[in-house]
A and B are shown apart, each in its own frame.
Chain A
Amino acid sequence: MRLGSLFLWDIRFQAKHGFYFLYAVLTVLYVAVLFAVPESWKEKTAAILIFSDPASMGLFFMGAIILLEKSQHTPCAFAVSPVCPMEYIIAEVSSLSAISLAAAVVLASAAGADNLHIVLLGTAISSMIFTLFGIIIATKISSLNQFILWTVPIEIVCFGPAILHLFKITPAWLRYYPVNVCMEMVSGGTPSAMGILIVMALLAILFILSKHCVLKMWSSTGGVKL
C-alpha cells in the first residue's frame, strides 16, 4: 500500500517535472534515427540508444531528484515517516524503470527486435543498476556539478565495455561483466545462467549499499543525527 503510494507519487513528480514529455520527444528523435540508419545497423543502433539513454536515465537524473528533495526538505519528512529506505528506493527504481521500459518498447519495435521480452528484461535490469548507482552517488553530493563529475567514472566503466561487447571486440571472460550481460539482453541475446547470477548478485549489493546510503542521508538530515 505504502509502496504503491510512493510509486504513484514518484510518477506524478516525474510527470510534473517533464520526464514523460522529455522521453516522448527523445523517443521520437531516436525512432527517426533508427529509420535513417541502414537496415543492417538498426538492431545494434537500437541497443546502443536504449542502453545509453532510457536505461541509464536514473544515473543522469537521480542527482537532481535527490538534490531537489533535499532543497524541499523531503528527506526530513521521510526520516520521521513510517516509510523505510528500501520502499523509497524501490519506488524510485520502479518509477524510473517504467519510463525506460516505455521508451525501450517503442525503440525495440521500431528496430524490429526479435526477442522483445529479453530486450525489455535487459532494459529493466540495466535501469535498476544505473538508478541504484545514481542513488548511491546522489546521497553523497551537494551540487549538480559534483553529481555530474561523480557519474563520469561510472559511465566510463559501464558504457565503454558494454558498447565494445556489443561489437564483439572484448575478451571472452568479459561476457560475465554485469553491464555486458545487460547489453547482451538489450540487444536481444540470451545471456548465460552464470551471467544472470552475477547481475543478480550486483543488484543485491547495490540495493544493500543504496539502502545504507539513503538511511545515512535521512538520519543526518536537517543538521542533526537522528
Chain B
Amino acid sequence: MRAIRSSFFQMLAYMRRDMMLFAACPAPILAGLFFRYAIPFLEAVLADYFHMPAIISPYYRLIDVLFVMITPTMFCFVSAMVSLEEADEKTAAYLFITPLGRTGYLSARLGLPAVIAFLVTVILLPVFKLTTFSSIAILLLAACGTLQGVIVALLVAALSSNRLEGMAITKLSMLTVFGAVIPFFVKDSIQYALCPLPSFWIGKAGSENTLLYMFPAFALSAIWICFLLKWYLRKM
C-alpha cells in the first residue's frame, strides 16, 4: 500500500511539474459551470434567434451523460499519458520489478485516479446536472462513467507502442465515448450496431430513463477492461 501511495504521489509530482495538475483539477468544475450555466443561456439565445421553442434542451439528458464521462476520462487520460511516457522510457518495466509490482503500478496509475474521478463525479453531478436523477442513478452513472474512463486509458496504454502511436490511439479511443450520443439521435434498430460499446448503454439508460440498461454497460466494461488489461500486461 505504501509503495502504491508513493508511486501515486510521484505521478502527481510529475503532473505538477507539467502544470497538468493545475489544469486537470479545476477542469471538471469549469466544464460543469459551462454545462450548468452557459448551455441554458446558449439555448435561450439560439431559441430566440431561430424562433424555435427548444433546440438544445431536448438533449440536456445527453449533456448530463457526457458530463458523467468527462471527469473520469480526463483524469484517466492524464495518467495514461504519464504511463505512456514511462513505457516509452522503459521506466514502467523497472517499476514492475520493484516492491510496487504490476498490480501496484496499475493501482497507482489507473486505480487511484479512477477512484478519485468517481468521487469527484458523485459530488459534481448533483451540483451541475441539467435534468433530475435519483441518488442511485447518480451512483450508477458515475461508476459507469469511471469504467469508461479506465477503458479509454487502457486503450491508449495497451494498443500503442510509443507516445506517437499513443496520441493516434487517443483520437480513436475518444470516439468510444460518443457511443452515448447514438441512442439520442438514432431511434431505429440500427443503433444496436454500437451495442458493444459500454457508452452506448450509458446513453441508452439516459435517453430512455431506464437504469436497467446500466447492467449491460457494467458487464461490457468488465469484458473490455479484462481484455485490455491482459493485452497491456502482455505488452509490458
Is residue B55 within 8 Å, beta carbon to beta carbon, of the partner chain?
no
Find out whether the CB atom of B167 lies under 8 angstroms from the CB atom of A64: yes
CB proximity to A under 8 Å, residues B159-195: 162-169, 171-172, 175, 185
Is residue B85 within 8 Å, beta carbon to beta carbon, of the partner chain?
yes
For B165, give the chain A residue with the smallest CB separation: A17
Find out whether the CB atom of A145 lies under 8 angstroms from the CB atom of B81: yes
Find out whether the CB atom of A18 lies under 8 angstroms from the CB atom of B165: yes
Closest CB in chain B relative to A114 CB, distance in Å:
25
Is residue A146 within 8 Å, beta carbon to beta carbon, of the partner chain?
yes
Q: Which residues of chain B are within 8 angstroms of A146 by Cβ–Cβ distance? A: 18-20
Q: How large is the interface on B (under 10, 10 to 19, 20 to 34, 35 or more residues)?
A: 20 to 34
Is residue B43 within 8 Å, beta carbon to beta carbon, of the partner chain?
no
Mask, A41-82, CB within 8 Å of B = 1, is 000000000000000000011011101100100000000000
| Cα of A26 to Cα of B170 in the assembled complex, Å | 12
Find out whether the CB atom of A19 lies under 8 angstroms from the CB atom of B168: yes
| Cα of A144 to Cα of B167 in the assembled complex, Å | 9
Is residue A226 within 8 Å, beta carbon to beta carbon, of the partner chain?
no
Closest CB in chain B relative to A54 CB, distance in Å:
11
Find out whether the CB atom of B23 lies under 8 angstroms from the CB atom of A60: no
Could you tell me which B residues sit within 8 Å of A by CB distance? 14-15, 18-20, 23, 78, 81-82, 84-85, 88-89, 162-169, 171-172, 175, 185
Q: Known pairs A17-B168, A61-B164, A143-B82. 7 more at Cβ < 8 A?
A: A22-B172, A36-B185, A64-B164, A71-B163, A145-B78, A145-B82, A149-B23
8 residue pairs of the A-B complex, CB under 8 angstroms, read A18-B169, A22-B171, A36-B185, A67-B163, A143-B18, A143-B82, A144-B167, A149-B20
